[in-house]
A = this chain, B = another copy of it.
Amino acid sequence: MASSPSQTSLLANFSTCELSDALIKLSVPHGGHVPDIRMISPSSSSPEIRICSPAYTVQMVPGSNKDAPCLSEHFVDTTPAGSVIVIDAPSETKSAVWGGLMTAGAQARGATGVIISGRCRDIGEHRSLGFPVFSRGHSTLGQSPFTRPSAINVPLTIKPQGPGENSFPSVTIHPGDWMVADEDGVVCVPKHLENQVIELATKSREVDAQCMQDIKAGKGIKASFKLHRGK
């Protein structure tokens, strides 16, 4: 893991939207956005909840895949404290890859949450434990026999799913990349862009605050953008 011992970053001050804006300015074509993964726990709408932690990555494979490697430990037991678990499940799986016992294990390890390109279950347990879970949906089915973990600390290439899946780029998440997740969605900030993103987002926030003030005062969006953004 490439992140600092404290596992915190000034990125935590910004919304996912502000971070995507900065990544777009840095010519990252997808703005770091992993589409269609939404907040499930601690509620489906908690404006005050924001994950901002380095990624600990887990690659799942179909249970029928006998060739892919197996893990010697349970992947939750090897989660670094202060990290967020990021799981890539086989595309379009109707079963869950995360449940209540895993939330308990992740909390015992000091994980800050889990972000799943796939489904969770035991919604009530995550909520009563107050553990942040972001996923594509939910299910009553557990991992076995549908899926199994095959690798940790590997890059994950997460493809968009559903309508528009072929017209939006995949996002590759490397271990230690900063994952930020809130009500609006999930964003990956590549580790090497951390400082540039913070710098750009800090400037934009100031400009947007000035725009907001003028727009609320009725000065018009075009005029406010022209004055404060210069275009």
Chain A residues within CB distance 8 Å of chain B: 15-17, 19-21, 24, 30-33, 35-36, 38, 43-45, 47, 73-74, 76-77, 91-95, 99-102, 104-105, 107-109, 121-124, 127-128, 137-142, 144-145, 160-164, 167-168, 182-187, 208, 211-212, 215-218, 220-223, 225
Q: How far is the CA of A112 from the CA of B212 in the complex (A)?
A: 19
A138 / chain B contacts, CB cutoff of 8 Å? 38, 183-185
Q: Do B76 and A221 touch (CB < 8 A)?
A: yes
Q: Do A139 and B77 touch (CB < 8 A)?
A: no
- Which of A30, A101, A186 has the most B CB atoms < 10 Å from its CB? A101
Q: Do B167 and A123 touch (CB < 8 A)?
A: no
Q: Do A124 and B221 touch (CB < 8 A)?
A: no
Q: How far is the CA of A188 from the CA of B144 in the complex (A)?
A: 19
Q: Do B139 and A33 touch (CB < 8 A)?
A: yes
A20 / chain B contacts, CB cutoff of 8 Å? 140-142
A123 → chain B closest CB, angstroms: 5
Q: Residue A92 contacts which of B31, B105, B164 (CB distance < 8 angstroms)?
A: B164
Q: How far is the CA of A123 from the CA of B187 in the complex (A)?
A: 15
A47 / chain B contacts, CB cutoff of 8 Å? 123-124, 127-128
Q: Do B124 and A21 touch (CB < 8 A)?
A: no
A208 / chain B contacts, CB cutoff of 8 Å? 101
A186 / chain B contacts, CB cutoff of 8 Å? 140
Could you name 6 residue pairs across A and B whose Cβ atoms are closer than 8 Å?
Answer: A15-B124, A16-B140, A20-B141, A21-B142, A73-B222, A77-B220
